Structure 1
Amino acid sequence: MAARSTAPTPSPTTSPSSSRSISDAWRILVVEGDRTDRVTLTEALERHGHTVDAVDSGGEALAWFETVDLVLLDLDLPDLDGLEVCREIRAAGDVPVITVTSRASELDCVLALQAGADDYVIKPYGTRELMARLDAVMRRAHRTPAPAPDAATDGTAVLEHGPLRIDNDSREVQMAGRPVPVTRKEFDLLALLASAPGQVISREYIMREVWGDSWSRRTVDTHVSSLRGKLGGPEWIVTVRGIGFKLRTVQ
């Protein structure tokens, strides 16, 4: 049963594609199977000025996600696997998704990112951490691309390294001619590494260029791990202990 007495109603003034600054209030869909957590999260978001629609099932989430600006998705739902719900949302469009979960292993985080989540928050969490992650995700989602090429593209529309092909215009990745599905942040990270193959790029530089001021060592490691799996093996992205990462050179 949903936390509210009625199903979420689309807002007449907001939509996922609305242009908004990060200081604006957002319409957020909370998908949380635990009633206590659902109510607590809803109240916290409303105290920060956001409009909240709260549901407790994956089916309701898939019915209403297109009416909101952002989805906070619990992975443990009574009817559907939360990862599958995330995949369905991502396949349908670009509504930002943050998974809120008690699953704390690196594998669980990787699976969430591979399913299309923009970020993840592990229970128990602090309200300040959650709001900071909301800000960071929404800032990235609504960032206007600069007309000039950025550091990640290095001015090159297509980057090719052996069988790996990265198209910065279409934001598509291919390996040996086969498409590789990547999230927005995975693409930005891979394009940054590919702009200087064989050159070590520090964690600090990666965080600044890809994630702005949303800092987390684990975030970088998790995205690297996810990319390695999608590219077919760990050899494509080399860890340089104590410094950062580099894309291997192809002879």
Structure 2
Amino acid sequence: MRVLVAEDDRSVAAALVSVLTRAGHVCTSVARGSDVLLLHKEADVVLLDLGLDDADGLDVLRQLRKVSGVPVMIITARSDERSTVRGLTLGADDYLVKPVRLHELLARLGAVTRRYGAPSEIDDIDVGRIRIDVPAHRVLDSDVEISLTPTEFDLLVSLARRVGRAVGRQQILDEVWGDAYAAKSRSFDVHMAQLRQKLPALRITTIRGFGYRLESST
């Protein structure tokens, strides 16, 4: 896999490149946001620090999402909720706070990239006026296409496959993010909030202490 590592700290960048290379990936390391925008077409995934030499990583992500759907994992020292929420709502697929456990990084890297190309045996799912075309990764609300990120789409499919049934939070985490995904991460809640905002016709009920249920009618 071709990985673009955007990190201004040379020691951190070298450590990431070393681990990824040993895992069989081909890495390009840059320290400037302008280089991310220049080289993203040559990458299968981008690891993005928020403190780059020439720009804030969130601004780079915002510009990148105007032109590309390449998977982006934010790796940063910023652990505040505002940065996490902004990063995920701007289109990041995952958000990791330094110091990063390298085995978890590799597992989550694999989970993110699988969401972009994994085939599915499910065809269409209809929930009220919402139609989910699983093979094409498309969602229609009364024939109007709704743009979802791959993570949001897989979260929706996980619930839609069990319309009317309670689905545990941990089960969704395992299906969408993989076993290594940290259950306490804010990523899940941000993506769920985005899904609800983009598809207000769907009623997703929170079951306290357990998980969620996608209701069969609106």
% identical equivalent positions: 39
SS in 2 for 1:61: helix
Moved more, 116-125 or 58-67: 116-125
| Structure with max Cα Rg | 1
Say yes or no: does 1:221 pair with 2:171: no
- Secondary structure of the equivalent of 2:96? strand
Size of the aligned set, in residue pairs, is 216
CA distance in 1: counterparts of 2:114 and 2:147, whole angstroms = 23
RMSD: 2.9
CA deviation map 1:34-92 (0-9, x unaligned):
33433333333334443321111111111011112221111222433423433444444
Aligned CA distance change for structure 1 residues 135 and 158 (closer, same or farther; 3 Å): closer
TM-score by length of 2: 0.80
Give the drift of 1:122. 0.9
1:129-166: CA deviations, max 9, x gaps?
A: 222222322343343x14x32xxxxx5x252425x443
Amino acid at match of 2:159: L
Does the aligned pair in 1 maintain the 2:94–2:112 contact within 8 Å? Answer: yes
**Structure 2 residue identity aligned to 1:198:** G
SS at match of 2:126: strand
Which residue pairs with 2:110 in the alignment? 135
Corresponding position of 2:77: 102
Alignment of 1:55-204 (within 5 A): 55-143=30-118, 145-146=119-120, 148-149=121-122, 155=123, 157-162=124-129, 164-175=130-141, 179-204=145-170
Q: CA deviation at 1:227?
A: 1.9
Contact 1:159 1:195 in 2 (8 A): no
CA gap of 1:37–1:232, structure 2 versus 1, over 3 A, is: farther
Structure 1 runs of 4+ aligned residues shifted over 4 Å read 174-179
Structure 1 Cα separation of the partners of residues 85 and 140 of structure 2: 20
CA–CA distance in structure 1, aligned partners of residues 23 and 127 of structure 2: 45
Q: Distance in 1 between matches of 2:191 and 2:95?
A: 12
**3-state SS in 2 of match to 1:141:** coil
Q: Which SS does the other structure have where 1:52 is aligned?
A: strand
